[in-house]
Chain A
Amino acid sequence: MVKVSEFLKQHGKPSREVYLDHENSGWVPPEVVEAMLPYFNQRGYGHPSITNLPGWEAYEVVESTLEKVNKTINAKGGELVITHNGTEANNLAIIGTALGSGRERRKIITSAIEHVSILFPARSLEEYGYRVVTIPVDKEGFVDPDMLSMLIDYETLMVSIQMVNHEIGTIQNIKTLVETVKDKDDRIIFHTDAVDAYGRIKIDVEELGVDLMTLSSHKIHGPRGVGVLYVREGVRLKPIMHGALSTQKMWPGVENIPAIAGFNKAIDLTFTNFDDNVKKMKTLRDMLMDGILNNVPEVLLNGPRGDKRAPDNVNVSFLQVEGESITVELSLRGVYVSSGSACTSRVLEPSHVILAIGRRYEEAHGSILFKVSRYHNKEDIEYVLSQVPPAIERLRIISPLARESREAVKKVVEV
């Protein structure tokens, strides 16, 4: 098979580039990188649990970061567990809750559009006698509180429903869902995966009443390699990984201090002028969304509109063309996005999220996720809008489905 370097040479570096794949990996601004650099070899390069100066300096990074996280989610107590990514924090939330429970309760309720780092660990518990119940969502991705209420019984151990969907941007009404659960039985643990909510909507764990909540550094333009699980006081978790513990009782392995320092800086940048940042994202999101819907025929918007949609999320299905080829075509044009198509997945199955909102397979195959950020400007979106219509048009020239559709329309017009 071909070497990656050869492929890259053939691809070439586009003269203009707009990165819109913040879903899969966040772009890290220079200020954040700068904040990380000293911690490799100038200060705080030690182990945060060892009694020497570089160790104490490292511990200061942990302490300061956790204080900032607490402040930005308004946590008055409880614990923040630092993991090495969001997937680990989600695994700890699900499996750690199961291990920490008394085993009388064997039912885990989650939604059909959760991230796979919730769905897969939940399913992994099935072979140990747990039952996973997946709540369907409506056409915009919302969980119905009445349906949730119906599914809760004396066997229910926990409920895990994400705050903002990572693919279609649906903002769940977590407060109502928590109240629904707690009204029925306040011993049920409520976890929310908030990695796509943090830095995009206001989060107040005291007001929401969630027991566990996951955050991830790279989703707010911090580096990859840091995840956080908020654990409310009194919630019993058991560690799922074992090894040398450091400042963290629930997650072994030495903390990734430079990455935590970068996350720390990313929090500052995200939450200083928070409202302006969100407003900017919303403006760019709507510009991109309207630009695509108005200029490309045969396209469907996936997820809700307006204030119930994450400020950075645009997800559309281009009909009669396949998503993987769209990502390649746009990449050659310097526009970097991802797709929910089967062809981009290991199992050749399209996105479970797009299918769960009632889209057909062929609609899921043409789905493209764009995530704008506060680091984009109007000109970036204009550039994207200048490239998307011709990219789709070129692939539709190749597609027999597009030709058949054109011929059918022509026939109707002639009749």
Chain B
Amino acid sequence: MSTRTPLIYTPKILDLFRNPKNLGKMEDATVSSQAGSPACGDVITIYLKIEDSRIIDASFESYGCAANIAAASIITEMVKGKTLKEAWDITWEDVTNELGGLPSIKYHCSILAVGGLKRAIRKYFQEIVKMHPDWLPKDLSKEERQALEEEELIERIYRKYGVVP
């Protein structure tokens, strides 16, 4: 079809694709957030249940490729039990390593997962507890910025080709 590249996934990714952990909408979530866009072909939703600044439960939904599903699933595993500060410090490289590696063309999957997580944490402080802890940067993090750029990119493409989104 178009120009392609070989894609090989680690056993961890294939395992999480087959049997995703923490899958589904969390009805009693403290906060949730979404990153990505349907037009880009990847959307991650992160749900967090927070008590005393600690994530006691997390779940996800994913529209995307196998790596996207695995990245969203593994990040919910990684944050469970962590304080919000500890969760904020998770990088996309951490997620990639936890998956056993990703093909470079799929790095944006772990970036999107971290972007979604950071959005949820920011939203928690801005909209729910309405306070700003010292460790939370005022400016958007690299991952939040990248998620936003991806979402805006597709709007630009639609405008460029005259397609109404």
Residues of chain A touching chain B, judged by Cβ–Cβ distance below 8 Å, are 1-4, 6-7, 10-11, 23-24, 116, 166-167, 320-325, 328-329, 332, 338-353, 360-362, 365, 369, 397-403
Contact = CB atoms under 8 A, between A and B. Distances in A.
A142 to B, nearest CB: 20
Contact of A346 (B4, B61, B165): B4
Interface in B63-81: 63-66, 68-69
A324 B66 contact: yes
Contact of B11 (A10, A324, A338): A10
Interface in B148-165: 154, 157-158, 163, 165
B39 A360 contact: yes
A262 B25 CA distance: 54
B61 to A, nearest CB: 4
B40 to A, nearest CB: 7
Contacts, number: 135
10 contacts: A1-B10, A116-B2, A322-B41, A325-B69, A341-B65, A344-B7, A348-B105, A360-B165, A362-B39, A399-B62
A24 B1 contact: yes
Given A349-B2, A397-B23, A399-B63, A2 B15 contact: no
Contact of A341 (B34, B41, B157): B41
Contact of A398 (B5, B9, B23): B23
Interface string B97-108: 000110101001
B152 to A, nearest CB: 14
A10 B15 contact: yes
Given A1-B8, A2-B9, A332-B18, A401 B63 contact: yes
B4 A361 contact: no
Contacts of B11: 2, 6-7, 10
A344 B4 contact: yes
B4 A322 contact: no
Contacts of A167: 1
B38 A362 contact: yes
Interface in B28-47: 34, 38-43, 45
Given A1-B8, A345-B4, A401 B38 contact: yes
Nearest to A343: B65
A364 to B, nearest CB: 8
Contacts of B136: none
A346 B66 contact: no
Contacts of A24: 1
B3 A343 contact: no
B66 A328 contact: yes
Interface string B115-138: 000000000000000000000000
Contact of A1 (B1, B23, B24, B101): B101
Contacts of B63: 320-322, 398-402
A320 B63 CA distance: 7
B113 to A, nearest CB: 13
Please list the 7 inter-chain residue pairs (A to B) with the smallest Cβ-Cβ separation, ordered nearest first.
A400-B61, A324-B65, A361-B39, A343-B65, A365-B41, A362-B38, A345-B2
Given A10-B14, A361-B40, 9 more contacts: A1-B8, A3-B8, A7-B9, A7-B10, A116-B2, A325-B68, A328-B9, A346-B3, A360-B165
A341 B64 CA distance: 10
